[in-house]
Chains A and B, each alone.
Chain A
Amino acid sequence: GDSVTQMEGPVTLSEEAFLTINCTYTATGYPSLFWYVQYPGEGLQLLLKATKADDKGSNKGFEATYRKETTSFHLEKGSVQVSDSAVYFCALTGGSNYKLTFGKGTLLTVNP
């Protein structure tokens, strides 16, 4: 079945540091890929998405590129802020299948 593997962290960075959270996946067919973010006490917010190979999703300074050859969708941000502290989830769906398969989540803490 489908699966997502992401670095579990926790990841601790200083403000303005570069962020990478690795995500790789296993899926049949051509999945859509997502990054969601969860702040304390809240639900998940969609951060960005990519629906086909070589697509780049971007939002709020975060980016991720759909790499079919390496089955990866790594999340990057050039300069993190304290307000980026949260748990980040990589996820996929298989086309018209509305079931999201999630990675375990990565806790990011950004210190001033």
Chain B
Amino acid sequence: KAGVTQTPRYLIKTRGQQVTLSCSPISGHRSVSWYQQTPGQGLQFLFEYFSETQRNKGNFPGRFSGRQFSNSRSEMNVSTLELGDSALYLCASSPGTGDNQPQHFGDGTRLSIL
């Protein structure tokens, strides 16, 4: 069974630009979550999508947005990039129904802002 696939693996952008990251979940998984990992703040939850609807949201500004498609693939968009947005962005998927289902992570997209 293929794991969670994130593309691209690396991105370099400049301040003020926008960026779109992509995540393909494990086949059959309908929940996709996004996390930001930085050395200072650690792992922080961005949002979770289930059946094309945002179901949970973390404490990030509106510049961070996402969506999910009917095939459960998800994209995350960051507009007006800031230096502080440099991070590893991780996507995780799970079945999405039933309690206590573990999340399975991709290898992440490393975003660097110049």
Contacts and interface: CB of A to CB of B under 8 A. Distances in A.
A98 B43 contact: no
Contacts, number: 61
Contacts of A60: none
Given A32-B100, A34-B102, A93-B100, A98 B107 contact: no
B55 A98 contact: yes
Interface residues of B, number: 28
Contacts of A95: 99-100
A56 B53 CA distance: 34
Interface residues on A, range: 20 to 34
Contacts of B4: 43
A101 interface: yes
Given A49-B102, A98-B31, A98-B94, A43 B107 contact: yes
Interface string A21-57: 0000000000010101000011111100101000000
Q: Is the interface of B mostly helix, strand, loop or mixed?
A: strand
Contact of B33 (A49, A100, A105): A100
A4 B110 CA distance: 25
A32 B105 contact: no
A77 interface: no
Contacts of B75: none
Interface in A66-112: 89, 91, 93, 95-105
Given A43-B90, A101-B45, A102-B43, A96 B108 contact: no
B13 interface: no
Interface of B: 4, 6, 31, 33, 35, 42-43, 45, 48, 50, 55-56, 58, 90, 92, 94, 96, 98-108
